[in-house]
Amino acid sequence: MALVALGVCGGIGAYKAVEVARGLQQRGHDVAAVLTANAARFVGPLTFEAITRRPVAGDQFAPGVNAQIEHIALASDLQLLLVVPATANILGKFANGIADDFLSALYLATTAPVLVAPAMNTNMLAHPAVAANLDRLAERGVRFVEPGEGYLACGWVGRGRLAEPADVVAAADRMLGAGRSLAGRRVLVTAGPTVEDLDPVRYLGNRSSGRMGYAIAAEALARGAQVDLVAGPTALEPPAGAEVFRVRGAEEMRTAVMARVAGDGDAVDLVVMVAAVADYTPAGGARDAKLLRDRDELVLTLRRTPDILAALGRWRAGRDRPVLVGFAAEVGDPVARAREKLRRKQVDLVVANDVSRPGAGFGGNTNVATLVTDTEAEEIPLGTKRELARVLLDRVEPRLAPLASGSEGAT
Ligand code: CTP
C-alpha cells in the first residue's frame, strides 16, 4: 500500500478527483487529499474527508497546521503526488517554484514522483506560456496523464478535457508499481559508527553520523523492500517502516548482522555495510571500573575487531545471495584501494568515498563517490546522500538473485 497525495485544483473536473480517490483506494492505496482554495469552491473538502477518512489539507496558514509543518511531514511520507485536475495556474507555480499555498509548497518539498492530469480550455493549453511550463516540468521528470488528444514533443494539442478517472488511476498505479522494484526483497543496512567502550564512561568512536546508511534504508523502503537497519549510536530518526536493531560495538554489530543473514529467517537479498565499524577495540574488553587519572602516560592495548564484511564474504561463498556492498573511506585515488578491498573481502561492489574532497564523507548531507566493481568504476558527482542511494540501488538491483518462489513479484 502506498500513500498518494491527491492534489485537487479549481476546475470543473474537480468532481472527477473524487472518483480518482476511490479508484486509488480500491487498489489498496492510502489517499491524502490536498485542495487548493479554488478547488474547495467546486467540491467540498468534506466529500474528500469522508472518502479518504483523513483530514483534508488545504490552508497552509490555518491555526495548528504550521506548528506541525504539515506540508513537510506529508512530503516525506508520500510515494506519489498526483494532481487532478491540474490547472494552468498550478502548472505555472510548479514550473517556476512558486509556493504560496499548501499544494505548491508540497510539490517543492517532496522528492516523490509527480503525476499530473492537466485540464483547461483549449486555447489556454495551447498558449506558449503553458506549453513552456509543461515542457519544463517534463524535463524535470514530472509525468502527465494526457488530456484530450495529448502531449506531443513539439508542443500541446488537444481539447484540454481531463482524462478519464480510470485512466488516471491506472497511470498512478503503474507509476507506484514501477517504483517498487525491491518488493519481496529483504535488505540489511548497517549505519552509523560503532563505539568501543574503554570503561563505564569512556569510549573510542568515530565521526560517522549514520546519514548515508539511513538514506539507503529509506530508498530501499521506498522501493518496497523489507529493511533491517543495524545501527550504531546515532541521533537520527530512523526511516518509518525499517526494523531497527541498535548496537554499540563492532562485536555486537557482527552478532546482529550474522544472526540476520545466517539465521533461520527469510534469505537476505542484499547487505549494504555502510557502518563505520571500529577497526580496533580495547584488548580484554571494557574495564569494569572507571580509569583513574593517576599516571602521566596511559598506554592502551587494542586488538583488531572482527571484519564483518569479510565474514559475510566468507559465509556467502557457494551461495547466490546476499549481494554484498561495502563502503570505503579513502584519500587520494580511491579506486585501486577499493578494488583491492573488494577482492580481499569477496564483495560485489565498494562505494569509495574520497573523504578529502569537499562535500564528501561524514556528517553532511552530500557525498561524492565512485562505485567500484571488479571491472568498472563509476564516478558519481556531488549530490545528496539520497541521490547516491538511488544510483547505488539502481546498479545493485540487476545483480540480485532471482526472487525465492512464493515471494511477491517485483513489477
Ligand atoms: N567493515 C566491517 N568490519 C570491520 C571494519 C570494516 O564490516 N571491522 C566494513 C565497513 O562497514 C565498510 C568496509 O568494511 O563497508 C570498510 O572497510 P575499511 O575499514 O575501509 O577497510 P579495512 O579492511 O579496515 O581497510 P583499511 O582501514 O586498511 O583501509
| Three cell numbers, residue 143 | 509525468
Cβ of 361: how many Cβ atoms within 10 Å? Answer: 22
Pocket perturbation via mutation, ligand 1, pick of 257, 274, 307 by most ligand atoms within 8 A of CB: 307
155-156 vs 243-246, strand pairing mode = unpaired
> SS3 for 218?
helix
Query: From the CA of 329, how far away is ligand 1's center (Å)?
Result: 9
pLDDT of residue 408: 47
154 belongs to the catalytic site: yes
Query: From the CA of 184, how far away is ligand 1's center (Å)?
Result: 29
Residues flanking ligand 1, CB < 6 Å: 250, 273, 275, 277, 279, 305, 307-309, 326-328, 341
Domains of the chain: 3-178 (3.40.50.1950), 186-402 (3.40.50.10300)
pLDDT of residue 77: 83
Point out the catalytic residue in the list 154, 201, 235, 240.
Answer: 154
Which DSSP helix (H) or strand (E) runs through 8?
Answer: strand 3-8
pLDDT along the chain (411 residues), means of 10: 92 94 89 95 94 84 53 82 97 97 93 92 90 88 77 49 89 82 95 98 95 92 91 90 95 98 88 98 96 93 98 95 94 88 97 80 78 95 85 96 62 36
Whole-model pTM: value is: 0.67
- Give the integer Cα–Cα distance in Å for 139 and 58: 28
pLDDT of residue 155: 44
Residue nearest to atom 25 of ligand 1 (CA): 341
Residue nearest to atom 24 of ligand 1 (CA): 279
Query: From the CA of 311, how far away is ligand 1's center (Å)?
Result: 11
SS3 content of the chain, % helix, strand, coil (to 5): 35, 20, 45
Residue nearest to atom 23 of ligand 1 (CA): 341
CB 331 within 8 Å of CB 337: no
Nearest one of 411, 402, 334 to 367, comparing CA atoms: 334
Pocket perturbation via mutation, ligand 1, pick of 189, 212, 273, 316 by most ligand atoms within 8 A of CB: 273
Residue nearest to atom 3 of ligand 1 (CA): 307
Q: For residue 1, what are the CA distances in angstroms to 30, 141, 178, 179?
A: 7, 23, 14, 12
Indicate the Cα dihedral angle 389, 391, 397, 400, nearest 10°.
-70
pLDDT of residue 62: 58
Query: From the CA of 328, how far away is ligand 1's center (Å)?
Result: 7
